[in-house]
Structure 1
Protein backbone atom coordinates (compact mmCIF):
# COMPACT_ATOMS: atom_id res chain seq x y z
CA UNK A 1 0.00 0.00 0.00
CA UNK A 2 3.02 2.31 0.46
CA UNK A 3 1.29 4.60 2.92
CA UNK A 4 4.61 5.72 4.41
CA UNK A 5 7.69 6.08 2.25
CA UNK A 6 11.03 4.51 3.06
CA UNK A 7 12.53 8.02 3.13
CA UNK A 8 10.00 9.14 5.77
CA UNK A 9 10.90 6.13 7.93
CA UNK A 10 14.61 6.88 7.52
CA UNK A 11 14.03 10.54 8.42
CA UNK A 12 12.08 9.50 11.52
CA UNK A 13 14.89 7.18 12.60
CA UNK A 14 17.49 9.89 12.00
CA UNK A 15 15.43 12.42 13.97
CA UNK A 16 14.94 10.08 16.93
CA UNK A 17 18.59 9.00 17.03
CA UNK A 18 19.48 12.65 17.71
CA UNK A 19 17.01 13.04 20.57
CA UNK A 20 18.51 12.91 24.06
CA UNK A 21 15.77 14.62 26.07
CA UNK A 22 12.47 12.96 26.88
CA UNK A 23 9.08 14.23 27.99
CA UNK A 24 9.05 11.96 31.05
CA UNK A 25 12.32 13.47 32.32
CA UNK A 26 11.51 17.08 31.49
CA UNK A 27 8.04 17.46 33.02
CA UNK A 28 6.97 16.49 36.52
CA UNK A 29 3.78 16.06 38.50
CA UNK A 30 3.52 18.85 41.06
CA UNK A 31 1.77 18.63 44.40
CA UNK A 32 0.84 21.50 46.68
CA UNK A 33 1.34 21.24 50.42
CA UNK A 34 -1.77 20.27 52.35
CA UNK A 35 -3.53 23.12 54.09
CA UNK A 36 -6.59 23.25 56.34
CA UNK A 37 -9.90 23.62 54.56
CA UNK A 38 -13.41 23.68 55.92
CA UNK A 39 -16.38 22.43 53.94
CA UNK A 40 -19.90 21.75 55.17
CA UNK A 41 -18.85 22.55 58.69
CA UNK A 42 -16.18 19.82 58.61
CA UNK A 43 -12.39 20.18 58.73
CA UNK A 44 -10.34 18.74 55.87
CA UNK A 45 -6.80 18.88 54.55
CA UNK A 46 -6.75 20.29 51.02
CA UNK A 47 -4.12 19.97 48.29
CA UNK A 48 -3.87 20.06 44.51
CA UNK A 49 -2.03 17.80 42.11
CA UNK A 50 -1.07 19.06 38.66
CA UNK A 51 -0.36 16.70 35.77
CA UNK A 52 1.71 18.05 32.85
CA UNK A 53 -0.22 17.94 29.57
CA UNK A 54 1.23 18.61 26.14
CA UNK A 55 -0.99 18.77 23.05
CA UNK A 56 0.05 18.52 19.41
CA UNK A 57 -2.66 19.30 16.85
CA UNK A 58 -2.53 17.56 13.49
CA UNK A 59 -5.63 19.18 12.01
CA UNK A 60 -9.06 20.41 13.11
CA UNK A 61 -10.25 16.92 14.09
CA UNK A 62 -7.13 15.11 15.30
CA UNK A 63 -4.62 15.76 18.03
CA UNK A 64 -2.36 13.92 20.40
CA UNK A 65 -2.10 14.44 24.13
CA UNK A 66 0.94 13.55 26.19
CA UNK A 67 0.38 13.47 29.94
CA UNK A 68 2.57 12.41 32.85
CA UNK A 69 0.68 10.18 35.32
CA UNK A 70 1.46 7.87 38.20
CA UNK A 71 1.97 4.28 37.13
CA UNK A 72 -0.89 1.97 37.99
CA UNK A 73 1.34 -0.08 40.30
CA UNK A 74 4.29 1.37 42.17
CA UNK A 75 5.49 4.86 42.87
CA UNK A 76 6.96 5.82 39.50
CA UNK A 77 5.46 8.07 36.87
CA UNK A 78 5.04 7.41 33.17
CA UNK A 79 4.31 9.45 30.10
CA UNK A 80 1.09 8.49 28.33
CA UNK A 81 0.19 9.21 24.71
CA UNK A 82 -3.41 9.55 23.57
CA UNK A 83 -4.78 10.00 20.07
CA UNK A 84 -7.94 12.12 19.96
CA UNK A 85 -10.15 12.13 16.89
CA UNK A 86 -13.73 12.71 15.83
CA UNK A 87 -16.20 9.88 16.40
CA UNK A 88 -17.24 10.43 12.78
CA UNK A 89 -13.93 8.91 11.66
CA UNK A 90 -14.91 5.51 13.04
CA UNK A 91 -16.35 3.09 10.51
CA UNK A 92 -19.36 1.13 11.74
CA UNK A 93 -22.40 -0.51 10.20
CA UNK A 94 -24.53 2.23 11.78
CA UNK A 95 -22.99 5.64 12.60
CA UNK A 96 -22.19 6.07 16.31
CA UNK A 97 -23.17 9.72 16.50
CA UNK A 98 -26.26 10.40 18.67
CA UNK A 99 -26.62 6.83 19.89
CA UNK A 100 -25.20 4.42 22.46
CA UNK A 101 -22.95 1.67 21.13
CA UNK A 102 -24.27 -1.84 21.68
CA UNK A 103 -22.52 -4.39 23.88
CA UNK A 104 -19.36 -5.72 22.19
CA UNK A 105 -19.91 -3.45 19.18
CA UNK A 106 -16.68 -2.45 17.50
CA UNK A 107 -15.61 0.19 15.04
CA UNK A 108 -12.66 0.64 12.71
CA UNK A 109 -10.34 3.59 12.38
CA UNK A 110 -9.00 3.27 8.86
CA UNK A 111 -5.41 4.25 8.16
CA UNK A 112 -5.10 5.54 4.60
CA UNK A 113 -3.10 7.91 2.42
CA UNK A 114 -4.85 10.92 3.99
CA UNK A 115 -3.93 10.14 7.60
CA UNK A 116 -0.89 7.81 7.49
CA UNK A 117 1.52 10.68 8.14
CA UNK A 118 -0.29 11.42 11.40
CA UNK A 119 0.40 7.89 12.63
CA UNK A 120 4.08 8.23 11.74
CA UNK A 121 4.14 11.51 13.68
CA UNK A 122 2.49 9.75 16.65
CA UNK A 123 5.14 7.04 16.44
CA UNK A 124 7.80 9.76 16.52
CA UNK A 125 6.15 11.37 19.57
CA UNK A 126 5.97 7.95 21.24
CA UNK A 127 9.76 7.80 20.88
CA UNK A 128 10.03 11.10 22.77
CA UNK A 129 8.03 9.98 25.81
CA UNK A 130 10.86 8.26 27.70
CA UNK A 131 14.22 6.57 27.23
CA UNK A 132 12.50 3.15 27.28
CA UNK A 133 9.94 4.20 24.64
CA UNK A 134 12.75 5.76 22.60
CA UNK A 135 14.77 2.53 22.62
CA UNK A 136 11.72 0.49 21.58
CA UNK A 137 10.86 2.82 18.69
CA UNK A 138 14.47 2.80 17.44
CA UNK A 139 14.50 -1.02 17.45
CA UNK A 140 11.18 -1.18 15.60
CA UNK A 141 12.30 1.33 12.95
CA UNK A 142 15.64 -0.43 12.48
CA UNK A 143 13.84 -3.77 12.04
CA UNK A 144 11.40 -2.30 9.50
CA UNK A 145 14.24 -0.70 7.54
CA UNK A 146 16.20 -3.99 7.48
CA UNK A 147 13.43 -5.65 5.48
Structure 2
Protein backbone atom coordinates (compact mmCIF):
# COMPACT_ATOMS: atom_id res chain seq x y z
CA UNK A 1 0.00 0.00 0.00
CA UNK A 2 1.41 3.36 -1.07
CA UNK A 3 0.78 7.02 -0.40
CA UNK A 4 0.76 8.89 -3.71
CA UNK A 5 2.15 12.41 -3.27
CA UNK A 6 2.11 14.95 -6.09
CA UNK A 7 5.12 16.64 -4.58
CA UNK A 8 5.59 20.30 -5.44
CA UNK A 9 8.51 22.68 -5.49
CA UNK A 10 7.06 26.20 -5.40
CA UNK A 11 4.34 28.53 -4.13
CA UNK A 12 3.13 31.80 -5.61
CA UNK A 13 4.77 34.75 -3.82
CA UNK A 14 2.61 37.54 -5.23
CA UNK A 15 -1.09 38.39 -5.35
CA UNK A 16 -3.70 37.64 -2.71
CA UNK A 17 -2.09 34.33 -1.70
CA UNK A 18 1.46 35.66 -1.44
CA UNK A 19 1.52 36.43 2.29
CA UNK A 20 -0.37 33.27 3.18
CA UNK A 21 2.05 31.16 1.13
CA UNK A 22 5.05 32.82 2.78
CA UNK A 23 3.94 31.27 6.08
CA UNK A 24 3.97 27.80 4.50
CA UNK A 25 7.65 27.83 3.54
CA UNK A 26 10.78 28.01 5.68
CA UNK A 27 12.72 29.67 2.82
CA UNK A 28 11.28 33.16 2.22
CA UNK A 29 13.65 33.98 -0.68
CA UNK A 30 11.93 34.13 -4.08
CA UNK A 31 12.83 33.15 -7.63
CA UNK A 32 11.24 33.81 -11.01
CA UNK A 33 9.75 30.79 -12.71
CA UNK A 34 9.31 30.04 -16.42
CA UNK A 35 6.32 32.41 -16.60
CA UNK A 36 8.34 35.10 -14.77
CA UNK A 37 6.13 34.82 -11.68
CA UNK A 38 7.69 35.34 -8.25
CA UNK A 39 7.68 32.04 -6.38
CA UNK A 40 8.75 30.71 -2.98
CA UNK A 41 10.71 27.47 -2.62
CA UNK A 42 8.50 24.71 -1.19
CA UNK A 43 8.40 21.01 -0.25
CA UNK A 44 11.03 19.34 -2.43
CA UNK A 45 13.26 22.43 -2.36
CA UNK A 46 13.14 22.63 1.42
CA UNK A 47 14.17 18.98 1.73
CA UNK A 48 17.18 19.53 -0.52
CA UNK A 49 18.16 22.87 1.02
CA UNK A 50 18.35 21.58 4.58
CA UNK A 51 19.89 18.27 3.48
CA UNK A 52 22.81 20.26 2.04
CA UNK A 53 23.09 23.31 4.30
CA UNK A 54 22.37 21.89 7.75
CA UNK A 55 22.22 18.10 7.77
CA UNK A 56 25.18 17.65 5.39
CA UNK A 57 23.55 14.56 3.87
CA UNK A 58 24.40 15.82 0.37
CA UNK A 59 27.56 17.62 -0.70
CA UNK A 60 27.48 20.86 -2.73
CA UNK A 61 29.43 19.00 -5.42
CA UNK A 62 26.63 16.44 -5.80
CA UNK A 63 24.10 19.23 -6.24
CA UNK A 64 26.35 20.98 -8.75
CA UNK A 65 26.65 17.80 -10.83
CA UNK A 66 22.85 17.45 -10.82
CA UNK A 67 22.52 21.11 -11.84
CA UNK A 68 24.88 20.57 -14.80
CA UNK A 69 23.08 17.37 -15.81
CA UNK A 70 19.71 19.16 -15.86
CA UNK A 71 21.12 22.13 -17.75
CA UNK A 72 22.65 19.87 -20.41
CA UNK A 73 19.45 17.88 -21.06
CA UNK A 74 18.60 18.48 -24.76
CA UNK A 75 15.14 19.76 -25.64
CA UNK A 76 14.57 16.65 -27.77
CA UNK A 77 15.04 14.40 -24.71
CA UNK A 78 12.40 16.06 -22.53
CA UNK A 79 9.57 13.76 -21.50
CA UNK A 80 6.78 15.91 -22.92
CA UNK A 81 8.14 15.54 -26.48
CA UNK A 82 9.89 12.17 -26.86
CA UNK A 83 8.05 9.65 -29.03
CA UNK A 84 7.78 6.94 -26.36
CA UNK A 85 5.80 9.33 -24.12
CA UNK A 86 3.22 10.42 -26.68
CA UNK A 87 -0.48 10.09 -25.88
CA UNK A 88 -2.03 7.66 -28.36
CA UNK A 89 -5.60 7.28 -29.62
CA UNK A 90 -7.19 4.53 -31.67
CA UNK A 91 -9.24 5.32 -34.75
CA UNK A 92 -12.86 6.17 -33.84
CA UNK A 93 -15.44 3.41 -34.25
CA UNK A 94 -19.13 4.22 -34.53
CA UNK A 95 -21.17 2.74 -31.71
CA UNK A 96 -24.74 3.08 -30.48
CA UNK A 97 -25.58 3.59 -26.81
CA UNK A 98 -29.13 4.12 -25.53
CA UNK A 99 -30.36 4.83 -29.03
CA UNK A 100 -27.74 7.50 -29.73
CA UNK A 101 -24.81 7.28 -32.14
CA UNK A 102 -21.35 7.88 -30.68
CA UNK A 103 -17.76 7.46 -31.84
CA UNK A 104 -15.66 5.31 -29.55
CA UNK A 105 -11.88 5.40 -29.28
CA UNK A 106 -9.28 4.22 -26.78
CA UNK A 107 -6.86 6.75 -25.32
CA UNK A 108 -3.54 5.59 -23.85
CA UNK A 109 -1.62 7.80 -21.43
CA UNK A 110 2.07 6.82 -21.18
CA UNK A 111 3.38 6.23 -17.66
CA UNK A 112 6.95 5.54 -16.57
CA UNK A 113 8.23 4.60 -13.11
CA UNK A 114 11.60 5.18 -11.47
CA UNK A 115 12.73 3.14 -8.46
CA UNK A 116 14.95 4.86 -5.93
CA UNK A 117 17.88 2.59 -5.12
CA UNK A 118 17.19 -0.10 -2.53
CA UNK A 119 13.99 1.59 -1.36
CA UNK A 120 10.48 0.55 -2.36
CA UNK A 121 9.84 4.19 -3.24
CA UNK A 122 8.92 5.09 -6.79
CA UNK A 123 8.41 8.17 -8.90
CA UNK A 124 5.66 7.95 -11.50
CA UNK A 125 5.54 10.29 -14.50
CA UNK A 126 2.41 10.36 -16.65
CA UNK A 127 1.66 12.62 -19.61
CA UNK A 128 -1.80 14.18 -19.76
CA UNK A 129 -3.40 16.87 -21.90
CA UNK A 130 -3.04 20.37 -20.48
CA UNK A 131 -6.27 21.46 -18.82
CA UNK A 132 -6.16 25.12 -19.83
CA UNK A 133 -3.97 25.11 -22.93
CA UNK A 134 -2.98 23.05 -25.95
CA UNK A 135 -0.25 20.46 -25.46
CA UNK A 136 0.97 17.82 -23.04
CA UNK A 137 1.58 18.21 -19.32
CA UNK A 138 3.88 15.71 -17.56
CA UNK A 139 2.78 15.01 -13.99
CA UNK A 140 5.07 13.54 -11.33
CA UNK A 141 3.93 11.54 -8.31
CA UNK A 142 6.07 10.19 -5.48
CA UNK A 143 4.84 6.80 -4.25
CA UNK A 144 5.89 6.05 -0.66
CA UNK A 145 5.02 2.76 1.10
CA UNK A 146 2.64 3.55 3.93
CA UNK A 147 4.83 1.49 6.27
CA UNK A 148 7.63 4.08 5.88
CA UNK A 149 5.43 6.80 7.37
CA UNK A 150 4.79 7.38 11.07
CA UNK A 151 1.14 7.69 12.13
CA UNK A 152 -0.39 8.24 15.55
CA UNK A 153 -2.17 4.89 15.00
CA UNK A 154 -1.12 1.89 12.94
CA UNK A 155 -2.49 2.64 9.43
CA UNK A 156 -2.70 -1.01 8.37
CA UNK A 157 -6.09 -2.71 8.42
CA UNK A 158 -8.15 0.45 8.82
CA UNK A 159 -9.54 3.36 6.80
CA UNK A 160 -7.54 6.53 7.34
CA UNK A 161 -9.41 9.55 8.63
CA UNK A 162 -9.95 12.61 6.47
CA UNK A 163 -6.93 14.96 6.68
CA UNK A 164 -4.97 12.38 8.69
CA UNK A 165 -1.25 13.00 8.38
CA UNK A 166 1.77 10.74 8.38
CA UNK A 167 5.33 11.78 9.22
CA UNK A 168 8.15 11.02 6.78
CA UNK A 169 11.57 11.11 8.44
CA UNK A 170 14.30 12.52 6.19
CA UNK A 171 17.59 10.66 6.52
CA UNK A 172 20.50 10.49 4.08
CA UNK A 173 18.68 8.08 1.75
CA UNK A 174 15.60 10.29 1.54
CA UNK A 175 17.81 13.34 0.93
CA UNK A 176 19.52 11.57 -1.98
CA UNK A 177 16.06 10.68 -3.29
CA UNK A 178 15.15 14.38 -3.26
CA UNK A 179 18.21 15.18 -5.38
CA UNK A 180 17.22 12.50 -7.90
CA UNK A 181 13.71 13.97 -8.00
CA UNK A 182 15.22 17.30 -9.02
CA UNK A 183 16.83 15.59 -11.99
CA UNK A 184 13.54 13.95 -12.98
CA UNK A 185 11.67 17.26 -12.68
CA UNK A 186 14.36 18.81 -14.87
CA UNK A 187 13.62 16.43 -17.73
CA UNK A 188 9.82 16.76 -17.72
CA UNK A 189 9.54 19.84 -19.97
CA UNK A 190 11.19 23.16 -20.82
CA UNK A 191 9.09 24.81 -18.13
CA UNK A 192 10.13 22.36 -15.43
CA UNK A 193 13.79 22.48 -16.50
CA UNK A 194 13.78 26.28 -16.32
CA UNK A 195 12.08 26.24 -12.92
CA UNK A 196 14.41 23.76 -11.21
CA UNK A 197 17.52 25.48 -12.58
CA UNK A 198 16.22 28.82 -11.28
CA UNK A 199 15.51 27.20 -7.90
CA UNK A 200 18.99 25.69 -7.62
CA UNK A 201 20.54 29.04 -8.57
CA UNK A 202 18.46 30.72 -5.87
CA UNK A 203 19.26 28.15 -3.18
CA UNK A 204 22.92 27.85 -4.16
CA UNK A 205 23.80 31.16 -5.90
CA UNK A 206 27.44 30.23 -6.53
CA UNK A 207 26.33 28.49 -9.75
CA UNK A 208 24.37 31.39 -11.20
CA UNK A 209 25.94 32.62 -14.42
TM-score (norm: length of structure 1): 0.88
Distance in 1 (alpha carbons) for counterparts of 2:119 and 2:177: 13
1:82 to 134, 141, 148: 141
Look up the match of 1:29: 87
Matched residue count: 147
Query: 1:32-51 counterparts in 2 under 5 A?
Result: 32-37=90-95, 44-51=102-109
User: Could you tell which deviates more after superposition, 127-136 or 91-100?
Assistant: 91-100
**CA apart distance, 1:75:** 3.4
**CA apart distance, 1:46:** 2.0
**CA apart distance, 1:24:** 0.6
Post-superposition Cα deviations, 1:86-140, rounded to whole Å, max 9, x if no partner, equal 0111111112111111232211222211221111101110010000100111111
User: Could you tell which deviates more after superposition, 45-54 or 31-40?
Assistant: 31-40
User: Could you tell which deviates more after superposition, 35-44 or 87-96?
Assistant: 35-44
**CA apart distance, 1:10:** 0.6
Post-superposition Cα deviations, 1:36-94, rounded to whole Å, max 9, x if no partner, equal 34679986532110111111111351111111001233333200111112011111111
Distance in 1 (alpha carbons) for counterparts of 2:175 and 2:119: 16
1:3 to 27, 35, 57: 57
**Cα RMSD between the aligned structures?**
2.1
2:176 to 95, 101, 117: 117
Distance in 2 (alpha carbons) for counterparts of 1:68 and 1:104: 28
Look up the match of 2:201: 142
Distance in 1 (alpha carbons) for counterparts of 2:128 and 2:97: 28
Unaligned 5+ segments in structure 1 are: none
Unaligned 5+ segments in structure 2 are: 1-54
The 3 A distance-change label for structure 1 pair 117 and 60 is closer
1:92 aligns with 2:148: no
